Amino acid sequence: QKTIDKIAAGEVVERPASVVKELVENAIDARATAITVEIKEGGISFIRITDNGCGITKDQVRLAFLRHATSKIRNVEDLVQIASLGFRGEALSSISAVSQVELITKTPESLTGVRYCIEGGTEKELEEIGAPSGTTFLVHHLFYNTPARAKFLKSATAEGNSVSTVVEQLALSHPEISFKYIQNGQNKLYTSGNGNLKEIVYQIYGRDLTRELIAVEAETPLMKISGFIGNPSVARGNRNFENYFVNGRYVKSKLLARAIEDAYHGFMMQHRYPFTLLYLEIDGEKVDVNVHPSKMELRFSNQEELYHQLCLALQNALLARER
Ligand code: ADP
Ligand code: MG
């Protein structure tokens, strides 16, 4: 079991950023309204995620670390309408197989909390302690027992930058959740959780870009589109500023990227890319949204319509700005 977990860990846990992503997604699934992410040394030696979500009861703590243990899917039908971010029950077993994890958690209903320590998949401690409602995960020394994998880690600075990107994406995906991000003891990002997107954009991208936003609000036969797109004047040299979220998830999609870039065709010079922050609500009944195990790359069944509807909606927004 331990060996299998270590191997499986390779798919879920590649670097500190993937640990942060999985743990924050768990916090979101736990309906947290405030999440704090703290890392040291790029997250290689220290990651702490604290949430004020539903917590884990004492009798469920061990179970949560078992492979394919998930509280989020009960039957096959659930798989079709996946509302929660996690659904494979692999994150905790994988993370704890290749690091030293300390968990402190308490449900609002229980009087005491639980502290659970697990290192390299081996349980070290399970005790009752006083704790606030919610969950804290501490992950120490990622890959301490898998030197082959530790070798693939980049510098602490590079790993820290990847974590920052992930935290920004998560904060942008959930403007209704307050995020606090601390790197090596320094506050890097704070979002209030009041839902104001521009506020978050301002924090992450600065004032100049925030001034150049065009609001998008559209409904097409296949989807609802909302968010902001940047004026062509704030064009960028790469695609890193094309953010789009499908049904609450930050994703990558060649099709959506093409629709976005083609919408700007004629508004922008070649080899320049727009800033976008688009929230697409796609009806799972009309579009087959196929998610890769990494949960990032999307595939759609009716590509053509989706492409045209998005492209047209963005062109309309760009044209409306000129009037
Ligand atoms: P998944 O998210 O796919 O269910 P994970 O391995 O990420 O699998 O988590 C296992 C289980 O642990 C979850 O289903 C959930 O019940 C519990 N859990 C994990 N993190 C939290 C958290 N922050 N708050 C409450 N419960 C949690
Ligand atoms: Mg999960």
CATH of domain 2-190: 3.30.565.10
- ipTM confidence score: 0.99
Ligand number nearest to the C-alpha of 25: 2
- Ligand 2 centroid to 19 CA: how many Å? 10
- Ligand 1 centroid to 4 CA: how many Å? 20
pLDDT tens per residue across all 323 residues of the chain? 666 666 666 667 889 999 999 999 999 999 999 999 999 999 999 999 999 999 999 999 999 998 876 666 554 444 434 445 555 678 999 999 999 999 999 999 999 999 999 999 999 999 999 999 999 999 999 999 999 999 999 999 999 999 999 999 999 999 999 999 999 999 999 999 999 999 999 999 999 999 999 999 999 999 999 999 999 999 899 999 999 999 888 888 999 999 999 999 989 888 899 999 999 998 877 777 666 655 567 778 889 999 999 999 999 999 998 65
Domain ranges across the chain: 2-190, 208-322
CA angle (199, 195, 162) in 5-degree steps: 65
The C-alpha atoms of residue 172 and residue 133 are separated, in whole angstroms, by: 25
- Ligand 1 centroid to 136 CA: how many Å? 12
54 CA: nearest ligand 1 atom: 25
94 CA: nearest ligand 1 atom: 6
- Ligand 1 centroid to 100 CA: how many Å? 17
The C-alpha atoms of residue 298 and residue 274 are separated, in whole angstroms, by: 20
**Closest-CA residue to 159 (of 5, 21, 319):** 21
Q: What local confidence, expressed as pLDDT, does residue 89 receive?
A: 76
- Ligand 2 centroid to 194 CA: how many Å? 25
95 CA: nearest ligand 1 atom: 6
The C-alpha atoms of residue 231 and residue 213 are separated, in whole angstroms, by: 6
Beta partners for residue 104, in sequence order:
115, 136
The C-alpha atoms of residue 66 and residue 57 are separated, in whole angstroms, by: 15
CATH 3.30.230.10 fits 208-322, yes or no: yes
Q: What local confidence, expressed as pLDDT, does residue 78 receive?
A: 43
Is there a shared CATH topology between the 2-190 domain and the 208-322 domain? no
CA-CA-CA-CA dihedral for 139, 141, 142, 144, to nearest 10: -140
- Ligand 2 centroid to 17 CA: how many Å? 14
SS3 state at 288 = coil
Residue 24 CB contacts under 8 Å (≥ 6 apart), including other chains: 35, 37, 49, 166, 167, 170
Residue 28 CB contacts under 8 Å (≥ 6 apart), including other chains: 35, 85, 170, 174, 177
CA 139 to chain CA centroid, Å, is 18
**Closest-CA residue to 84 (of 69, 72, 67):** 72
Phi first, then psi: give them for residue 212, nearest 5 degrees.
-100, 30
- The set of protein residues with a Cβ atom below 6 angstroms from ligand 1 is 22, 26-27, 30, 51, 53-56, 64, 69-72, 86-92, 135
Ligand number nearest to the C-alpha of 91: 1
Tokens coding 205: 């991208």
Ligand number nearest to the C-alpha of 94: 1
Question: Which stretches of the chain are DSSP H helices?
Answer: 2-12, 16-29, 58-64, 76-80, 91-97, 147-150, 156-173, 197-205, 207-211, 254-263, 303-322
**Closest-CA residue to 28 (of 51, 12, 55):** 51
Which of 5, 12, 26 should be mutated for ligand 1, with most atoms under 8 A from CB?
A: 26
Pair 79, 18: CB distance under 8 Å: no
Residue nearest to atom 1 of ligand 1 (CA): 89
Q: Which pTM does this prediction carry?
A: 0.89
Q: What local confidence, expressed as pLDDT, does residue 79 receive?
A: 40
Residue nearest to atom 21 of ligand 1 (CA): 26
What Cα–Cα distance (Å) separates residue 158 from each residue in 120, 153, 233, 242, 267?
Answer: 25, 9, 30, 21, 34
The C-alpha atoms of residue 243 and residue 221 are separated, in whole angstroms, by: 22
Residue nearest to atom 8 of ligand 1 (CA): 89
90 CA: nearest ligand 1 atom: 6
